[in-house]
């Protein structure tokens, strides 16, 4: 398990992830993400939930798969078929909690939900292996 939190543009996020690590196979899989998000007054809960879900999935891509590989100044994975973004089967169980603060004005919801995902995964890896994550995508 790993936990991370952050704030940006007047909104707040906390994420907790559960990972499964197969050391012999050098595989890391995120099993579950629990995220709480507060961005002031929630105007459209369904759209906000979709925004947070998308941000989590995008954060998983950056944390686990997405990278541009170079060799001698040439991009090795220049096509979309070789640039690995998350697919439906990569999406873990999502447990999202939207914190409505009608006493506050609505704040940005576009970027903040993504910022805690990679650090939470890195913290889970550190807790499980003792190895500090120094770069993305995270390697085991």
Domain of residue 53 covers 2-129
- Predicted confidence at residue 36, as pLDDT, reads 98
| Pairwise CA distance, residues 32 & 90, whole Å | 11
| Pairwise CA distance, residues 135 & 137, whole Å | 6
Task: Please name the residue ranges forming H helices in 24-134.
Answer: 45-64, 117-129
Q: Does some domain include residue 139?
A: no
Chain CA centroid to CA 83, Å:
18
Say whether pLDDT at 68 is over 90: no
- Predicted confidence at residue 81, as pLDDT, reads 80
Q: Does some domain include residue 138?
A: no
Closest CA to 66 of 50, 77, 56: 77
Contact 37, 11 (CB under 8 A): yes
Contact 52, 109 (CB under 8 A): yes
Kindly report the pTM of this predicted structure: 0.91
Burial 52-79 (b: 16+ CB within 10 A, else e): bbebbbbbbbbbbbbeeeeeeeeeeeee
**51: domain CATH number?**
3.30.365.10
**Model confidence band, residue 77 (pLDDT cutoffs 50, 70, 90):** confident
Q: Does some domain include residue 137?
A: no
Q: Does some domain include residue 76?
A: yes
Count of domains forming the chain:
1
**Residues 86-131 pLDDT 10s:** 888 989 999 999 999 999 999 988 889 999 999 999 999 999 999 9
Q: Does some domain include residue 134?
A: no
Q: Does some domain include residue 140?
A: no
């Amino acid at each position: 398990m790993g936990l991370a939190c952050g704030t940006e543009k007047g909104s707040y996020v906390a994420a907790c992830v559960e990972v499964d690590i197969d050391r012999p196979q050098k595989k890391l899989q995120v099993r579950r993400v629990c995220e709480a998000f507060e961005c002031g007054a929630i105007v459209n809960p369904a759209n906000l939930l979709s925004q947070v879900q998308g941000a989590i999935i995008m954060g998983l891509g950056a944390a686990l798969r997405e990278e541009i590989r170079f060799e001698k100044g040439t991009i090795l994975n220049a096509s979309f078929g070789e640039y690995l973004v998350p697919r439906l089967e990569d999406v873990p169980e999502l447990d999202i909690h939207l914190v409505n603060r009608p006493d506050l004005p609505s704040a940005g919801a576009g970027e903040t939900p993504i910022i805690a995902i990679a650090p939470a995964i890195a913290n889970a890896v550190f807790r499980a292996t003792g190895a500090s994550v120094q770069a993305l995508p995270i390697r085991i």
